[in-house]
Chains A and B, each alone.
Chain A
Amino acid sequence: MRNVNIARVLVLFITTLVMMNAAAATCNVIIITDPTGQDPNGAAAGSMSFDSNMFESTFMNSPQDKFAILSGGADTSGASTVVNDTPRLQMIVQCINALKSGATTESAASIANSFSGQRLVIGGPTIGAAIAGTSGNWLIEVANDGTITITPTTGEIGVLPPGTKGAVLHLLHTPGNPQPDNTTAVGLAASEMIGEQIRDGYPATQILANTFKMVASQSGEQYGGGGINLDSGISTEDTFTPSQLNQTGFPMDQPFEKVDNISGWGITYPDADSYTTSPIDNNPLTVVYAYQALEHYITVEPTNASVTTYGTDDPGIIDTTQSVVESSVSKNGFDATLIASDINKAISSGLLIGVNPVEPDDIHILTYTKQVGIYYTPLPNGRTAPAWNLPISSSILDTIGNLQTAIGLIMVVLVLFRSTLISSFSRRRKKL
């Protein structure tokens, strides 16, 4: 009896100890494959963890100044579920201000040293990258002659100077993760893979996806988080992040959706479980894993234009416009006039409804990042198609139309009472 009690107390004590140690351990990585900033996929960053609360604040992104700030999830100190996020957020705010006022990555990363147990991973395509705080940090440098240098930088700030190809990686085992702590081995293996793929000329977004796959499946630090394309300012935003406080995000090594490669139709899990073929054309569906979805999401491809629409929030407009623009771009390239004519064709055929035809100057194209912005003018009164252009005024047509209807109705009435009317007429005539 007494032994059981002691065992219970011991278990409780151990559990509390484990919870107390719950630092925000995670996987952060920044990869720079083109330090000149010319390749639209030349720099990428991403965060994931076994821990919960990997919200968007763990992979912040400034599209204007082109830098990323990565950090861990929230600390849940003690056995309580109260999130102690304050030191990390204070550190992030200081870091943003430093970078916005033009500080180097090294001095901005050094802010982490004034917060105990915190870590900063920052970088951008042209400003280089830096990593500071806690342990499990790796610095990967790839020289122009292909020499790969991997340095574990625990205890000091790891700096990837501007103009150098390379990456910074942080990987630490989260307490509570059922997998044995193999993060040092996985961190080294991932660093080697990153170094080799940078040397072999892979784009940064693809290397990021490969790193996510490797780290998630081998170390179990797998929940999103998300990724950023630093050159083009594209983020996965809340695609893989948790939907509620104290929950984990989407596991990055698991199937995320099923896609029909021919029609482009897709469905995400868990709904995808009940589909084996596409309901549109019965083609077999391909399973897309979360790391593949992340790569597709943030990679800018020659035909993969990212489309933004303005002027209307109607459902369906953005998706349809995206597919129309993609097919137009793959046929004719980034030409505003041809995109406009393709969109107008879609409007007149009823594929796009509720908007007026567009003109070439309503279309803004950034060829470098493959971004297309389309400014629509919506139709009034919830109309679905633009007004017809007829030579006759609409008010005249309206009057004639109503008149005709009225005459038609009168004729029906007359015919119905035909015999009565005729007989009453003839009777009156007889009387006269």
Chain B
Amino acid sequence: MFIKVRRDTLIILILAFILILSGRFMTYTAYASSPGINEGVPISGVIIEGNDIEPTDVIKANVANEGFREGSYIDGDTLVTSKTRLPLNEAITNAEQAATLSAYPGTTMYPITAASITVDNQTGIVTVNVIEDWSSVVVK
């Protein structure tokens, strides 16, 4: 042997190793069993209601462009997105406006006349209620 290690030294080292390992494991267990919310509520999903002919995907994309998308989260009264942080009220107003600008795919028809958005601060679920009214659509 190149290094002379006494047997009791070795035992103590192994003991220390086991201690550290089990200590780390317990910290992980603590993490895994804690509900742990510390950086706000993430936006978990967007539900669109009230549209009929207008495809849901179009409205969803427009609302996502205003920050209500995967990866954003709500911190108190602030919406934090991957690009910016802005007050939640302002984000909701912007997104409501964006929803009314949803065109029918391939055309310039805008059948969504009004939209209201509610954000659940506990679950992070965004519900977009829209009113679709074709009688007010003007084709230019």
Contact = CB atoms under 8 A, between A and B. Distances in A.
Contact of A401 (B25, B104, B125): B25
Contact of B37 (A245, A376, A381, A406): A381
Interface residues of B, number: 54
A56 B125 contact: no
A241 B107 CA distance: 13
A415 B13 contact: yes
A390 interface: yes
Nearest to A402: B27
A61 interface: yes
Contacts of B104: 56-57, 60
Given A62-B52, A311-B44, A394-B31, 18 more contacts: A89-B139, A237-B55, A312-B44, A313-B45, A313-B70, A376-B45, A378-B42, A378-B123, A387-B33, A388-B33, A389-B33, A394-B34, A397-B26, A397-B30, A398-B27, A409-B16, A409-B20, A412-B16
Contacts of A369: none
Contacts of B15: 411
B111 to A, nearest CB: 8
B33 A100 contact: no
A415 B9 contact: yes
Interface string B50-85: 001101010000000000011000000000000000
Contact of B29 (A381, A382, A401): A401
A403 B29 CA distance: 14
Given A385-B32, A388-B29, A401-B25, A411 B109 contact: no
B105 A56 contact: yes
Interface in A221-239: 235, 237-238
Contacts of B45: 310-313, 376, 378
B105 A55 contact: yes
A408 interface: yes
Contacts of A400: 23, 26
Please indicate which of the listed interface residues A55, A89, A407 has the most CB atoms of chain B within 10 Å of its own CB. A89
A64 interface: yes
A93 interface: yes
Given A310-B45, A312-B45, A404-B19, A412 B34 contact: no
A369 to B, nearest CB: 16
A408 B139 CA distance: 75
A377 B52 contact: no
Nearest to A313: B70
B33 A381 contact: no
A313 B46 contact: yes
B12 A415 contact: yes
A104 to B, nearest CB: 18
A390 B108 CA distance: 57
A119 B45 CA distance: 40
Interface string B1-37: 0000000010011011111111111111111111111
Given A63-B52, A380-B35, A55 B106 contact: yes
Contacts of A418: 9
Nearest to B9: A415
21 contacts: A55-B107, A56-B105, A65-B52, A97-B135, A311-B123, A378-B45, A381-B38, A381-B39, A387-B33, A387-B36, A388-B29, A394-B31, A398-B30, A398-B31, A400-B23, A401-B28, A404-B23, A405-B27, A411-B12, A411-B19, A412-B20
A60 B35 CA distance: 46
B105 A415 contact: no
B44 A377 contact: yes
B86 interface: no
Contact of A395 (B20, B30, B47, B134): B30
B57 A408 contact: no
Contacts of B30: 394-395, 397-398, 401
A292 interface: no
A45 interface: no
A100 B134 contact: yes
A407 B46 CA distance: 48
Interface string A281-307: 000000000000000000000000000
A145 interface: no
Please indicate which of the listed interface residues A93, A235, A376 has the most CB atoms of chain B within 10 Å of its own CB. A93
A238 B105 contact: yes
Contact of A93 (B21, B28, B35, B139): B139
B123 A377 contact: yes
A327 B70 CA distance: 28
B70 A408 contact: no
Contacts of B33: 387-390, 394, 397
Nearest to A68: B53
Nearest to A311: B45
A387 B34 contact: yes
